[in-house]
Amino acid sequence: MYKKNWLSISLIFIIMLGLNLLTPLCFGDDYVYAFIWPGQSMYVPLPETVQRVSSFQDILLSQWSHYCTGNGRMISHLFVQFFVWQGKTVFNFANALVFVLLILEIYWISNKGVVSLKQVKTGVLFWIFFVLWMFTVNFGGVYLWLSGSCNYLWMSVILLSFLMLYVRKYFQMETRLIEFSFGKYLFLLLGIIAGWTNENTVCWIILFLTFWLFQNRKRESMEPWMWTGLLGLCIGYALLIFAPGNALRASYYTEHSINLWEWGRIQQKLITFGLVEFFQVFLWFFVFTSYKKLSQIVMDECAARQVSLSKIFCVISLLSNAVMLLAPEFPSRSGFFSLIFLTIATALMVRMQEFIGIKLIDEYARKFLSVLGSVCFLITLCATYWGFGLTHQYDTNLIEAVRLHKESGASLVLEVLSPPEHPARLTWASLQHLIHPELTEDANHWMNVAFSRYYGIQGIRMLKEKNKE
């Protein structure tokens, strides 16, 4: 079984590594973060004097400037700038590993916080992978795009790593989990880092952790690290939310008289909210059906705790998505954390079948869904690889054209054709997993300028086929 688990993990790693290898640096954020942050809006072209990141010191200097003038996501953008500096190859391997780690963390949390590779059920492992594959809105933007992965995938792994021990303590209240004295200081630091990860999720975790700790504060089994971890989480979240850069971004909307509550903007956010929840509808159906069936039987304390924890994660999932309705913008990738916590809630119910010996889903239905899911997965996998293969081929040709243009010493703006749109059938068959990177026809656009600065050319514009003619 142990070898089978390693084979399963290796297969998932290889699938994600292949997709990472086919995904290029994406126009926009990836190229901007290759430079020391100039203390201006991202949507303003980089000045000619901007300097490339070439050391850890440059990254720290850049992130301080970004924290004061950009936004508070210093932890995630430290990773972004490190990987853009070190190169896409380093990121490809690291990102595939982190994706595998995310799946294992979801499994371990559903295993009552017990970390073990020997006890992993291969079927559940692949089920988690399937859920992330099929139900993530903007898959490429969350798991493959360098800047997006560091902001969402990597931050979720950090946050779940922090929560792991709390989940284990929840099921083993009378067991002392940390014996060494500096554990409370370690968890203070881990809490700060975890709290500095995501705006729309950490606040709800703080709320539920606070309620749980105060509810059990008089128990002798309470440990110091539990309180210092919560304190660190609050400190990290405060550093994230109250960053000077966030205040500057808020003032931008006021200065430009942008109405955040106009109907068109609200409508867009409602559509995104509905889209995220639509992708999760099968998970919601399963957990609610499970709760209904379990309410009809007598459970022991451990099983009851498992159901309660699943419900808590369901609430966190829904609130993490709903709070984005109050944000200035609601990109679909922001619903990722909602999916993560709903997946954990569902995984807890899937594992519940093993612990109490009751089938929460009919055996024939399970087999039918397994076959249907396998067919859908294979179709989307092939379509996704095909689509990213086309993107990779275009990017390879583009970089070669840039190299030749630079070697020729031409002082003119380089004109290239835009990548052809992916066929509609391919886009739908891939379940919207694809990324379609494209520059604009304006050589002075901030994305075009960042690309030009990165490769050291005068400028670049992408033209549609008809314009080129």
Q: Which residue is listed with tokens 């960042």?
A: 450
63 vs 150: CA distance, rounded Å: 14
**272 with 417, same domain?**
no
Half-sphere exposure of 434 (CA within 13 A, CB side): 26
**109 with 29, same domain?**
yes
Q: Which of 319, 334, 361 is the last residue of a domain?
A: 361
**343 with 392, same domain?**
no
**306 with 390, same domain?**
no
Is 368 within a domain? no
Is 373 within a domain? no
For 3, 366, 373, the CA distances from 7, given in Å and listed in that order, are 6, 24, 21
**343 with 420, same domain?**
no
Domain count, the chain: 2
Determine contact, residues 63/84, Cβ cutoff 8 Å.
no
253 CB contacts (<8 Å, ≥6 apart)? 260, 328
Is 204 within a domain? yes
**85 with 172, same domain?**
yes
**239 with 143, same domain?**
yes
Is 228 within a domain? yes
Query: Which of 364, 372, 424, 373 lies closest to 135, judged by CA?
Result: 373
279 vs 138: CA distance, rounded Å: 11
357 vs 359: CA distance, rounded Å: 7
Is 69 within a domain? yes
pLDDT of residue 469: 43
Beta bridge mates, 461: 415
pLDDT of residue 423: 79
Q: Which of 331, 361, 391 is the last residue of a domain?
A: 361
The first and second tokens of residue 52, run together, are 């490339």
Sign of CA dihedral 296, 302, 307, 312: positive
Length of the chain: 469
**180 with 112, same domain?**
yes
462 vs 415: CA distance, rounded Å: 6
**280 with 151, same domain?**
yes
Is 370 within a domain? no
| Residue 189 backbone class (left: φ over 0; alpha: ψ -120 to 50; beta: rest) | alpha
Query: Which of 391, 390, 401, 393 lies closest to 460, judged by CA?
Result: 401
Determine contact, residues 272/331, Cβ cutoff 8 Å.
yes
Is 188 within a domain? yes
353 vs 357: CA distance, rounded Å: 5
**291 with 403, same domain?**
no
Determine contact, residues 97/149, Cβ cutoff 8 Å.
no
pTM of the complete model beyond 0.85: yes
| Domain extent for 67 | 2-361
Query: Alpha helix locations (H) across 172-326?
Result: 183-195, 199-215, 224-241, 244-255, 263-279, 281-294, 301-322
Determine contact, residues 213/222, Cβ cutoff 8 Å.
yes
pLDDT along the chain (469 residues), means of 10: 82 97 93 94 91 96 94 95 96 98 96 85 92 95 96 97 96 88 93 96 96 91 94 97 85 64 86 94 93 84 90 96 90 95 95 75 82 93 94 94 89 88 79 85 95 94 68
Beta bridge mates, 34: none
Is 201 within a domain? yes
**356 with 388, same domain?**
no
The first and second tokens of residue 243, run together, are 């960053």
Q: Which DSSP helix (H) or strand (E) runs through 417?
A: strand 414-417
**172 with 202, same domain?**
yes
pLDDT of residue 468: 46
* b/e 149-184 (16+ beta carbons within 10 angstroms → b): bbbbbbbbbbbbebbebbbbbbbeeeeeebeeeebb
148 CB contacts (<8 Å, ≥6 apart)? 138, 140, 141, 142, 333
> In one letter, which amino acid is 242?
F
Q: Which of 361, 390, 408 is the last residue of a domain?
A: 361
